[in-house]
A and B are shown apart, each in its own frame.
Chain A
Amino acid sequence: MAELRALVAVKRVIDYAVKIRVKPDKTGVVTDGVKHSMNPFCEIAVEEAVRLKEKKLVKEVIAVSCGPAQCQETIRTALAMGADRGIHVEVPPAEAERLGPLQVAQVLAKLAEKEKVDLVLLGKQAIDDDCNQTGQMTAGFLDWPQGTFASQVTLEGDKLKVEREIDGGLETLRLKLPAVVTTDLRLNEPRYATLPNIMKAKKKKIEVIKPGDLGVDLTSKLSVISVEDPPQRTAGVKVETTEDLVAKLKEIGRI
């Protein structure tokens, strides 16, 4: 029964615990020598794919990442969590800075077709740019149904039941496969890659390809003008009584 194959896209981002520093020239943030790890929502996507495989609903999990050489570390982490093999779409460091959802979505769409997968899983957004676009664009390019912000994913025959967290509450969709799903926080708790699995991941294959091999042009129509720190928060004023508060508010013209 398990003939389904899944493609999971993972992104290497600055680790969530690191204090971000803006570069003095305001072209971006400092990344040199800074700890990087797999985007937390991508970890959730990998975990979901591996659980589907453990339930024998998915036969093969392919992990893919776009970017410079260091992406392979992130792919290895996915392999250590249980993905079967990896694909590294290699992009030189200078170009990688200009990679955005549109370009990545094109790559993923081409790969999904090439690898003939039934399911593309991604994190809902990356914690560095917070775009929340790649999954949706990928589905658009593929013309596949999408279930975003998934908090539960259940396979029902050739359909996927996806429970989504939306502003109004929970929405349940039933998608025909093949489909794209993006993962939200409450979908699962990702496993740690343990030592034996890390060792075994070292012998799994990572294929390296170029975007050109997929016929994808990475030109971006966006350019970053400046990156700045948010304005410093100014000190507040403490008042003793409610009368004082009302007086103060009148003083600054708020009431």
Chain B
Amino acid sequence: MALSLGWKAPRNGCGLLLQAMRSSGLLLFPCGRCPWRGAGSFLDPEIKAFLEENTEITSSGSLTPEIQLRLLTPRCKFWWERADLWPHSDPYWAIYWPGGQALSRYLLDNPDVVRGKSVLDLGSGCGATAIAAKMSGASRILANDIDPIAGMAITLNCELNRLNPFPILIQNILNLEQDKWDLVVLGDMFYDENLADSLHQWLKKCFWTYRTRVLIGDPGRPQFSGHSIQHHLHKVVEYSLLEPTRQENSGLTTSTVWDFQP
């Protein structure tokens, strides 16, 4: 299956890569030594221009001022514009969700957690947590999101933080065969009961098959606090959210990193 081949692909296997991209879902593998230089070449120039025009580079107001991200801010046209004029799918990637913020902060403050390890960022969105993992010395990273535009945003965000873009998988990873990861991180992914159920099952399998460490970041969403996964969670650390994040996420004041141990 093209997916597992993806990030282990041999450097001269670019023909294989093209085939993989064409057949299975969008598998972006920015390959440093390929004729294609970095991930920038994989970005549709029109969408890249759209992203650059309609997002703002920001690093303030979040728990991780060290990470620059292209996000929707009050200085962007679509902050105020009629929502039905947005020409793409729902831009979850355009917000730095509080659950992801806590995870990113934790990884930046505790590089031992990721140094030399393989990390999967499930539901990567803006890619902040994957970027934090890279900054802290993870040896292999895969950012996963079902939205191809998120994939492009993640690539741009890597460049912003002067990182070589890492592999990005644009498919619903819950439907694919599991790979061995040292660490799986999920930022703010438990806001929907059905999704939470699927994730819970998938994570249990990951844990029991590969002894993967699973870290979840969540700001205390009722859908998460009331889910049965709570029985298997150990609190790692709780951060107080900054005022801009609090205002944007009414009612939420802190965000916590949880260790999943079924």
What residue in chain B is nearest A59 (Cβ atoms)? B251
B88 CB, nearest partner CB in chain A, Å: 11
Asked whether B72 lies within 8 Å of A195 as measured between CB atoms, the reply is yes
Q: Is the CB of A194 within 8 A of B83?
A: yes
B79 at the A interface (CB under 8 A): yes
CA distance A32 to B54 in the complex (A): 36
Please give, as numbers and ranges, the residues of chain B lying within 8 Å of A193 by CB-CB distance.
83
Q: Considering the chains assembled together, what is the distance between the CA atoms of A85 and B83 in angstroms?
A: 20
**A195 with B222: CB separation less than 8 A:** no
CB–CB B94/A199 < 8 A:
yes
User: Which residue from chain A places its CB closest to the CB of B221 in the assembled complex?
Assistant: A203
Binary CB contact string for chain B from 78 to 90 against chain A (1 if under 8 A, 0 otherwise): 1111110010001
A82 vs B78: C-alpha distance when bound (angstroms): 18
Chain A minimum-CB-distance residue to B78: A195
B95 touches A84 (CB 8 A): no
A to B CB contacts below 8 Å, 10 in the list: A192-B83, A195-B79, A195-B91, A196-B79, A198-B90, A199-B92, A199-B94, A200-B248, A203-B221, A204-B191
CB distance from A106 to the nearest CB of B (A): 26
Q: Are B248 and A195 in contact (CB under 8 A)?
A: no
Decide yes or no whether B139 CB sits under 8 A from chain A. no
Residues of A within 8 A of B78 (CB): 194-195
State A80–B249 Cα separation when bound (angstroms): 11
Instruction: Point out the residue from A60, A85, A196 that lies within 8 Å of B248, measured CB to CB.
Output: A196
Instruction: Answer yes or no: A26 CB below 8 A from chain B CBs.
Output: no
**Contacting residues of chain B (185-214) with chain A, CB-CB under 8 angstroms:** 188, 191
Q: Which chain B positions have C-beta within 8 A of A203?
A: 97, 188, 191, 221
Min C-beta distance of A144 to chain B, whole Å: 26
B250 located at the interface, meaning its Cβ lies under 8 Å from any Cβ of chain A in the complex: yes
Task: Tell me the A residues contacting B by CB distance below 8 Å.
Answer: 53, 60, 80, 82, 84-85, 192-196, 198-200, 202-205
Mark interface residues in B168-184 (1 if CB within 8 Å of A CB, else 0).
Answer: 00000000000000000
* Chain A min CB distance to B238 (Å): 19
Chain B: interface residue total (CB-CB under 8 A): 23
Instruction: Give the interface centre of A80, A193, A196, A198 by most chain B CB atoms within 10 Å.
Output: A196
Q: Which B positions have Cβ atoms within 8 angstroms of A?
A: 72, 78-83, 86, 90-92, 94-95, 97, 188, 191, 221-223, 248-251
| 7 closest A-B pairs by CB | A203-B191, A195-B83, A205-B222, A195-B78, A198-B83, A196-B72, A205-B223
CA distance A106 to B248 in the complex (A): 34
Once A84-B251, A194-B80, A195-B86 are accepted as A-B contacts, the answer to whether A200 and B221 lie under 8 Å apart by CB is no
Cα A205 to Cα B222 in complex, Å, equals 7
Name the distance in Å between B70's Cβ and chain A's nearest Cβ. 14
Q: How far is the CB of A115 from chain B (nearest CB, A)?
A: 14
Of all chain B residues, the one with the shortest Cβ separation from A82 is: B250
Residues of B close to A196: CB separation below 8 A: 72, 79, 94-95, 248
Within the complex, what minimum Cβ distance (angstroms) separates A21 from chain B? Answer: 24
Residues of chain B contacted by A192 (CB below 8 angstroms)? 82-83
Q: B91 — which chain A residues lie within 8 A by C-beta?
A: 195, 199
Q: Which of A53, A85, A199 contacts B90 (CB 8 A)?
A: A199
Residues of A within 8 A of B86 (CB): 195
CA distance A192 to B251 in the complex (A): 21
User: In the complex, A198 Cα to B72 Cα: how many Å?
Assistant: 12
In whole angstroms, what is the CA distance A6 to B95 when docked? 28
Q: How far is the CB of B98 from chain A (nearest CB, A)?
A: 10
- Name B223's closest neighbour in chain A (CB-CB): A205
Asked if A85 contacts B222 (CB within 8 A), the reply is yes
CA distance in complex: A85, B91 (Å): 21
Q: Are B83 and A205 in contact (CB under 8 A)?
A: no
CB-CB nearest in chain B for A196: B72
Please measure, in the bound complex, the distance between the C-alpha atom of A85 and the C-alpha atom of B188, giving whole angstroms: 17
* Complex-state Cα separation, A196 to B94, whole angstroms: 8
- Chain B residues closer than 8 Å to A82, beta-carbon distance: 250
Check if B94 sits within 8 Å of A84, measured CB to CB. no
Contacts of B92 in A (CB 8 A): 199, 202
Cα–Cα distance between A193 and B85 once the two chains are bound (Å): 12
